[in-house]
Copies of this chain bind each other. A is one copy, B any other.
Amino acid sequence: MSHPHPELGAPPALPKDALRVIPLGGLGEVGRNMMVLEHRGKILVIDCGVLFPEEHQPGVDVILPDFTYLKDRLDDIVGVVLTHGHEDHIGGVPYLLKLRNNIPLIGSRLTLAMITAKLKEHRIKPTTIEVVEGDHRDLGPFGCEFIAVNHSIPDGLAVAVRTTAGLLLHTGDFKMDQFPLDKRLTDLPAFARLGAEGVDLFCTDSTNAEVPGFTTAEKDLAPAIETVFRTAPGRVIVSSFASHVHRIQQVLDSAHRNKRKVAFVGRSMVRNMDIARQLGYLDVPRGLVVDVKELAKLPDRKVTLVCTGSQGEPMAALSRMASGDHQIRIGDNDTVLMASSLIPGNETSISRVINGLTRRGADVVHKGNAKVHVSGHASAGELVYCYNLVKPRNVMPVHGEWRHLQANADLAIATGLDPEHVPVVDDGVVVDLQDGQVRVVGKVRAGYVYVSAGNVGGVTEESLRDRVTLSQEGIVTVLALIDIDTGKLVEPPEFLTRGLGADDSLFDDAIPSIEKALAAAASDGVGDPIDLEKRIGRAVTQWAGRKHRRNPLVIPVVVEA
């Protein structure tokens, strides 16, 4: 069961005693996690996140799951369980709530605080159900139980879903740090108890399934962070995810011990740290955190700035400091601590930031040269423990590119599961659980929905292809004044090029091809401007390919004289 199913059609009607599972995002990519559960006519959604675009998706802000499958069934949705507060799990919620704004959101205190703040920017006031680990909630035919898990943001929850078709356990994003800063361990006794009850389908986080061994404990970063604060000759500038409360706690603790003050820089950093502090997830010694303006009055040795931009996002504070485009000017005496991961796909932009900072004289400490980051996801060793502890009937790897899903499946199989019980599937593939066995039964729409300049769905795969052609080949507009009677050019056509890296006059050489095309049109009796535009477009495209091995977008415009 480890292959894509291009041949699949629409799924059959769902039998009454079956549970249907449809990943609408997150399987085949790192991001836009969203799983739809269906049972007895009702729908429960687990997470609704966004995916961040790659460089071949220019001008795209974020990528959403395709909600088409849900559009006619919005009233059947009994709720959206949010496992934790990361963008790739909650970022799509505002767009889903625009379809029906009273869908209940179920999550922990911090998770709900984060989604509520985000929804406020979209002017949506959500219906929320706050839960804590150990809670049970019936949502329609889905009996949900929430289980504490440890991750790179506090207050993460796994969810067990009991139905008459069986018990599903979904880890969300998790790892098994045995010494978490908040002492809130991933609740393995609960996993074991559910295993004893019988887990029919275990959906597990695949992100780090390729990584051997065990993920290092968060607290093991303390020595490297402390060294930075103890030895930095001037300011310390820390970048981190704006949601990594525990990492920032460690930074605050080190700053405090070394008699420095701290200011937060960047909108999302300020907002999230406010939330975390107000709700008691972040412990801030009195007087430690001050305003940036206050900080400017202190000597450099007393200064810590905590800012966004750990992934090299061009508009974030750290990137702008690296390119000299921020009010905070980086110099010889500064130490920059990038206390964050390197998300695949961001390597080039992160390296650009490190080069920019180094060039300005800063000493840059990052995961490549010091132990200042650990992952938030369970490594292979932890996953194997889980499988042996839970002894599930079926395992469905979630959260990851195909290579991660396959590696996770291989781990489950290594613990003794039969490959038939470990479906490796793509977004949109419909998996039914019935009588303790999973079956792939169909496929629904699950493509990318692009948000560009705030506009949902406006950018299509076709316009992205156009954009890539535009960027690689440029564009030429051909303006042709044509005599309506003779079908001939009244004057030489005008060529307007962009991004071509060539003089417009280069195209004058294409005029004979255009004249030939027009003559052929006249002898074919073709005179309609739209048809003439097509012929001119073809003539110029062929000429560019033949003469210059180029393939610019050609926009022919015929004006009748």
Contacts and interface: CB of A to CB of B under 8 A. Distances in A.
Interface of A: 2-4, 28, 54-56, 58-59, 210, 344-345, 347-348, 351, 354-355, 358-359, 361, 364, 368-369, 401-403, 406, 450, 452-455, 458-460, 463-464, 466-468, 470-475, 477, 479, 481, 494, 496, 498-502, 548-550, 553, 555, 557, 559
A403 B347 CA distance: 14
Q: Which of A355, A454, A470, A477 has the most CB of B within 10 A?
A: A470
A45 to B, nearest CB: 26
A314 to B, nearest CB: 10
Given A344-B348, A355-B402, 5 more contacts: A210-B369, A344-B351, A355-B403, A475-B475, A496-B557
Contacts of A479: 479, 557, 559
Given A348-B55, A458-B501, A358 B406 contact: yes
A548 B453 contact: yes
Contacts of A463: 474, 498-501
A454 B549 contact: yes
A454 B548 CA distance: 9
Nearest to A345: B348
B351 A499 contact: no
Contacts of A403: 351, 354-355, 358, 364
Contacts of A502: 455, 458
A466 B460 contact: no
How many chain copies? 2
Nearest to A558: B479
Contact of A55 (B55, B406, B458, B466): B55
B355 A401 contact: yes
A402 B358 contact: yes
Given A401-B355, A557-B494, A2 B500 contact: no
Contacts of A344: 347-348, 351
A479 B478 CA distance: 11
A475 B554 CA distance: 12
A424 B500 CA distance: 36
A470 B499 contact: yes
Contact of A499 (B56, B347, B467): B467
A402 B359 contact: yes
A184 to B, nearest CB: 31
B555 A477 contact: yes
A477 B557 contact: yes
A369 B402 CA distance: 15
A466 B459 contact: no
Contacts of A494: 557
Q: Sorted from nearest, which 4 A-B pairs have the closest CB atoms?
A: A471-B471, A459-B501, A59-B472, A55-B55
Contacts of A459: 501
A55 B471 CA distance: 10
Contacts of A500: 463
Contacts of A467: 470-472, 474, 499
